[in-house]
Structures are given as C-alpha cells and as structure tokens.
Amino acid sequence: MNLKNKIVIITGAGSGIGAATAKLFGTHGAVVVASDINLNNAQKIAGDITEAGGIASAIKTDVTQYQEVEALIANTIEKHDRLDVIVNNAGIGGKEQLKTAEHTHDDWHNVIAVNQTGVFYCMKVALQHMMRQGHGNIVNVASLAGLKASGHNLSYSASKFAVVGMTKSAALEYARKNIRINAVCPGFTHSALLDQLLAVSPDMGEKLKRFIPMGRFGEADEIAEAICWLASENSKFITGQTITLDGGTSL
C-alpha cells in the first residue's frame, strides 16, 4: 500500500482497532498523529511506532468537544503543513444492554455524542482544510450494527447507522473535490467493546460465534488492513462505500 509520508490522524488510537491502525500506518511509512481521550494510551502507541522506526506523535482529544477537534487538526497542520487522512475511529458502547423502552438517557446521550457527533465534528473540520489544500481522504469506523438490526443496543446502532449515512452523503458532496470518504463496518472484533459484551454471561462468546460463518471473532489488525487500504492510493476510485468485515455474519 502506498502510504509513505502521508499525514494521518487517528482518533481513538489508544487501544483496539485505533491502535492497530496507527501501528499499521506507521509500518507503511505514514506520519501518524495518535489521538485519544486517554493521553497515556495515545503516547504509548506513538512510542511503539517510533521505536519501530516510524514517525508518530500523540495528542489528547475529546471528540465530543468541537474546540478540541479544531485544535487537533490545526496543530497537525501547523506541524506538518497538511492533513492527508483522518480515521474517525473513536467510539464507545452503552453501559447497559437494554431494550428500547428501558434504554437509559445517559447511554443515549453519551454514545451519540462520541460515535455520531464526534464523527461529524472531525469530518466538518477536516473537510474545511482538505478543501483548501485540494485533496484528502476520510475513513470512518462504523459497524455491522450500522447495517443491520442490533437488539438491546439502540444508541450504538443509531450512531453507527448515522456514520454510514454521513459517509455516503459527504462522499457525494466532495467527490469532485479530490476528497474520498469511505467507512468500514466491523462485525464482532476483539476489542474493549466486545469484552464488555462477553461479560454479560460466561457462554456469551460461544453464542455469538454461532452467528459467524467463519466461527471466530475478527482481529483488530484485520480491520486496520482495510482502513489503510481505503486510505491509500490503491483504492483511488472508491468513495462512499462501506466495507463489511464480519466473517460472513451479515450473510
């Protein structure tokens, strides 16, 4: 993949898919800005990339705060003169697994703020800069829960359906401006969110695997490969698409 010297921001880079993606970009020679609400985690990932011979830095960002998103992107451009790619990966799940009538207000507002509004803020600010520089690439991390029904999970599902819709709408708007916007939709993938789901009951893991034709959960590295490919010149005629990585679950 041709990613050498691309300036890349990854939100939620401190763990899971974000961390795997940041490291893979670093391996391919990109200049990585690892952003996370947990600065220690982001610094660790940036350190790992640097130790492996790459170039990386860390910035603390709460994507629910518009001013912090502005600062993240402005600082990146001030330091590197441009922004080639932003991967909007920061996301959370609800604390409770409840049906819609019992869904808590806190879960609704918190999940929507990070997963939906945070992606909007990052896209809005990044697009302003990408328009001025004449090019850009955005990869949003949605979910299988943004493509099909997901019970006991209303706010998460709503936020990920929104990410898919925002991806397609923005891709249509900016296709003639040399800016590509795509999304990945992971199924059940080893991450903190999956760990939270597996904690519901001792046999939850085996129950979930019955719905996956490949019979296993995804790995963060596998999602990272798709993200980096979408961000590279190897996919330069692709925009407005969702790549589903779910081991066949959606079948």
**Active site residues per annotation:** 156
Query: Is 22 a domain residue?
Result: yes
Model confidence at 193, pLDDT cuts 50, 70, 90, reads confident
Q: pTM of the entire structure? A: 0.96
**159-188: average pLDDT:** 97
Q: Mean pLDDT of all residues in the chain? A: 95
Q: CATH no. for residue 109?
A: 3.40.50.720
Query: Is 250 a domain residue?
Result: no
- pLDDT by residue (tens digit) across 66-99? 999 999 999 999 999 999 999 999 999 998 889 9
Query: Is 231 a domain residue?
Result: yes
Query: Is 56 a domain residue?
Result: yes
Q: Is the pLDDT of residue 41 over 80?
A: yes
Token duo for residue 232:
């590279």
pLDDT at 124: 98
pLDDT at 200: 66
Chain position carrying tokens 């299988």: 144
Q: In whole angstroms, what is the distance from residue 130 CA to residue 128 CA?
A: 6
Query: Is 2 a domain residue?
Result: no
Query: Is 114 a domain residue?
Result: yes
Q: What is the DSSP string of 73-92?
A: HHHHHHHHS---EEEE----
Walk across the sheet containing 7-11 and list its strands: 55-60, 31-36, 7-11, 85-88, 136-141, 179-186, 242-245
The domain total for the chain is 1
What is the extent of the structural domain holding 241? 7-245
Whether the Cβ atoms of residue 57 and residue 34 lie closer than 8 Å to each other: yes
pLDDT at 205: 80
DSSP code of 35? E
Query: Is 41 a domain residue?
Result: yes
- pLDDT by residue (tens digit) across 99-152? 999 999 999 999 999 999 999 999 999 999 999 999 999 999 999 999 999 888
Query: Is 222 a domain residue?
Result: yes
Cα–Cα distances in Å, from 55 out to 25, 48, 58, 65, 213?
10, 10, 11, 27, 39
Q: Is the pLDDT of residue 196 over 80?
A: no
